Amino acid sequence: MSDAGEAGTSMERGLGTAQPSSKDEESKIADTAITIRNVIAKGGQEGCYQVQLIGGASFSLAVHEGDAFRATCAGENSFRGRLTDAYVDLASVYARMLSAFEEFKQVQGSTFLWQPKAEALRWLLPRATQSLERSNPVFATAKERGLADKTAELIASRDRLRQLANEVRAALDARKS
């Protein structure tokens, strides 16, 4: 579609872009987690699970993340439950952000279509920070207990989300310029 077709009427332009609500984006994160669970239920290759999201974004889950989506201990008040919750939250936020980022990249050259995608990403950036912060206590516990494998797995999941958030920030900053 051309930029002229995207512009709409002057009345539409005057309304501005709708901002995503936290409820809408949290719902999309929950839907993403369900999609991932469905992929996990179908099984994966040895060493990782390949997840194809609606909209075309694709990524791999490590075995520990896939196992977390299968676990029955989610929500438990135990180290195992909190670890599972951390993996699921980190992976779900990562997947939602990746999907939104792919959508943004597809329309970033348009005059108007990029704006709602950018707003979703702007909402997801603090949510990614929140996810990272929520995983801090379980990370500290794993480290205190000398669980090197769990510590390394958490580092990998956290670093992947942190790296994507940095890429998103850079793309949004470049779009402002």
pLDDT at 66 over 50: yes
Considering the domain boundaries, does residue 10 fall inside one? no
Q: What is the mean pLDDT of the chain?
A: 84
Considering the domain boundaries, does residue 163 fall inside one? yes
Predicted confidence band of residue 140 (pLDDT cuts 50, 70, 90): very high
Considering the domain boundaries, does residue 3 fall inside one? no
pLDDT in the model for residue 5: 39
Considering the domain boundaries, does residue 13 fall inside one? no
pLDDT in the model for residue 176: 77
Least confident span in 27-31, 54-58, 136-140, 167-171: 54-58
Considering the domain boundaries, does residue 127 fall inside one? yes
The C-alpha atoms of residue 120 and residue 112 are separated, in whole angstroms, by 14
pLDDT in the model for residue 167: 97
pLDDT at 166 over 90: yes
For 65, the domain range is 21-176
pLDDT tens figures, 80-133: 999 999 999 999 999 999 999 999 999 988 888 889 999 999 999 999 999 999
Global confidence as pTM: 0.83
Predicted confidence band of residue 54 (pLDDT cuts 50, 70, 90): confident
Dump the DSSP string for 70-109.
Answer: H-S-TT-SSHHHHHHHHHHHHHHHHHHHHHHHHHHHHHTT
pLDDT in the model for residue 49: 82
Answer for the pair 84, 73: CB distance below 8 angstroms, yes or no.
yes
Considering the domain boundaries, does residue 102 fall inside one? yes
pLDDT at 177 over 70: no
pLDDT in the model for residue 168: 97
Considering the domain boundaries, does residue 11 fall inside one? no
Total domains present in the chain: 1
Structure tokens at 34: 């369900």
- Helix, strand, or coil (residue 170): helix
pLDDT in the model for residue 4: 38
